[in-house]
């Protein structure tokens, strides 16, 4: 028996470490944005640290949530990043597990709004972003008064997902008009219908906006702060509208799949992503605005991010329940009065 035990131990010693890593495989579901940078800054370092293999699945939220639901009885994804509203939708469908903050060493470093975004303990925020209007400051002046649309453009409710920074699908542009100058609030149904004729197009990617602004096809457009860096590189006087009432915006969150056999590893990966080091690297690359309040970035990076405690406190996020429960009605109203 002793000889057999020695032989077995020797055999195990000959097994490559890579084979052991293959046995610890974490499958994550993420947005397709900036995957080369995420691989370099997040995925590869985590694999090295945990001695495991990371399988990355990408796509938009609708597709990825549908896949999670289709495999509810036998999960094929361990952890996912989605919008706040999609996280609540997944929770209502029983697709995600409650998160134990005690297993996240970096939980205490998060801004308060990121610790439990939906108030149900089922998600943790890892990045957020302000939403406003980028506009030609030499062509118009934008002031925010209450909830009224300004500057001659319709201010659509942001009904679609961020899809991790490819812009806000369905948002619109303002058509340049010679008479456009200082614009007074116009928030009636009639005014929204009139502004329908001023819509140039709807967009799906923020790169489209930058090109149209450069070609002077548009003077203004609603954008997320994650798109702002491209506008600052234009040789044009483009400004960011900051409402005195505070800025609206969105948040992306992390969830753990219910029934996953790798929940501890998923939490380990989430904690790694939320660390000050990783959040700083992503922020400096202008990939994500940090949810970790200990992150310090350069002035140049800060100017292109939704950054800092004051900003975090000023964000007016649409409650996920309100977004989910009213989405169909908002879409119908938008299509009836503006979109079609």
Q: Where do the DSSP E strands lie in 237-332? A: 238-240, 248-257, 316-317
Phi and psi, residue 82, nearest 5°: -145, 180
What gap in Å lies between CA 288 and CA 164, rounded to an integer?
9
The residues that bridge with 255 in the sheet, in sequence order, are 80
Q: What angle do CA 59, 322, 209 make, to 5 degrees?
A: 50
pLDDT value at residue 195: 56
HEC string of 255-321?
Answer: EEECCCCCHHHHHHHHHHHHCHHHHHHHHHCCCCCCCECCCCCCHHHHCCCCCCHHHHHHCEECCHH
pLDDT of residue 71: 96
- Span(s) in the chain for CATH 3.40.190.10: 2-128+251-312
CA angle 281-287-289, nearest 5°? 80
Q: How far is CA 159 from the centre of its chain?
A: 14
- Is 157:334 a contact under the CB 8 Å cutoff? yes
> Given this model, what pLDDT does residue 14 score?
52
The reported pLDDT for the residue numbered 168 is: 36
At 145 the pLDDT is 44
- Residues of the chain with pLDDT below 50 are 5, 7-12, 15-22, 145-172, 175-192
Closest CA to 86 of 203, 257, 252: 252
Helix (H, G, I), strand (E, B) or coil at 189: helix
Structurally, at CATH architecture level, domain 2-128+251-312 sits in 3-Layer(aba) Sandwich (3.40)
Cα-Cα-Cα-Cα dihedral sign, residues 46, 302, 227, 252: positive
Give me the pLDDT at residue 61, please. Answer: 85
Pick the CATH number of 129-248+321-339 from 3.30.2010, 1.20.120, 3.40.190, 2.60.40: 3.40.190
Give me the pLDDT at residue 158, please.
Answer: 35
Q: Tell me, what DSSP letter sits at residue 318? A: P
Give the pLDDT score at 161.
33
* pLDDT at residue number 237: 94
């Amino acid at each position: 028996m002793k000889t057999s035990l020695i032989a077995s131990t020797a055999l195990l010693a000959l097994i490559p470490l890579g084979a052991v890593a293959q046995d610890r495989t974490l499958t994550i579901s993420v947005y397709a944005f900036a995957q080369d940078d995420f691989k370099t800054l997040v995925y590869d370092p985590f694999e090295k640290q945990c001695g495991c293999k990371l399988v990355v699945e990408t796509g938009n939220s609708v597709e990825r949530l549908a896949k999670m639901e289709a495999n509810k009885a036998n999960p094929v994804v361990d952890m996912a990043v989605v919008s706040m509203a999609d996280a609540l939708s997944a929770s209502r469908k029983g697709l995600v597990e409650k998160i134990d903050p005690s297993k996240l060493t970096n939980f205490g470093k998060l801004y308060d709004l990121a610790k439990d975004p939906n108030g149900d303990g089922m998600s943790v925020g890892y990045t957020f972003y302000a939403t406003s209007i980028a506009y030609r400051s030499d062509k118009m002046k934008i002031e925010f008064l209450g909830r009224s649309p300004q500057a001659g453009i319709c201010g659509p409710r942001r009904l679609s997902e961020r899809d991790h920074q490819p812009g806000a699908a369905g948002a619109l542009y303002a058509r340049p008009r010679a008479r456009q100058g200082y614009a007074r609030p116009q928030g009636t149904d009639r005014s929204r219908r009139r502004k329908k004729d001023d819509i140039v197009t709807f967009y799906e990617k923020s790169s489209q906006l930058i090109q149209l602004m450069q070609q002077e096809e548009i003077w203004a457009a609603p954008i997320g702060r994650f798109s702002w860096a491209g506008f600052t590189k234009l040789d044009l006087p483009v400004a960011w509208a900051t409402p005195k009432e505070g800025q609206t915006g969105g948040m992306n969150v992390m969830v753990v799949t219910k029934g996953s056999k790798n929940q501890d590893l998923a939490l380990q990966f989430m904690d790694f992503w939320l660390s000050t080091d990783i959040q700083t690297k992503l922020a400096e690359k202008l990939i994500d605005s940090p949810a970790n309040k200990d992150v310090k970035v350069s002035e140049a990076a800060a100017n292109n991010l939704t950054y800092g405690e004051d900003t975090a406190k000023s964000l007016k996020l649409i409650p996920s329940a309100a977004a989910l429960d009213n989405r169909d009605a908002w879409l119908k109203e938008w299509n009836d009065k503006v979109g079609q």
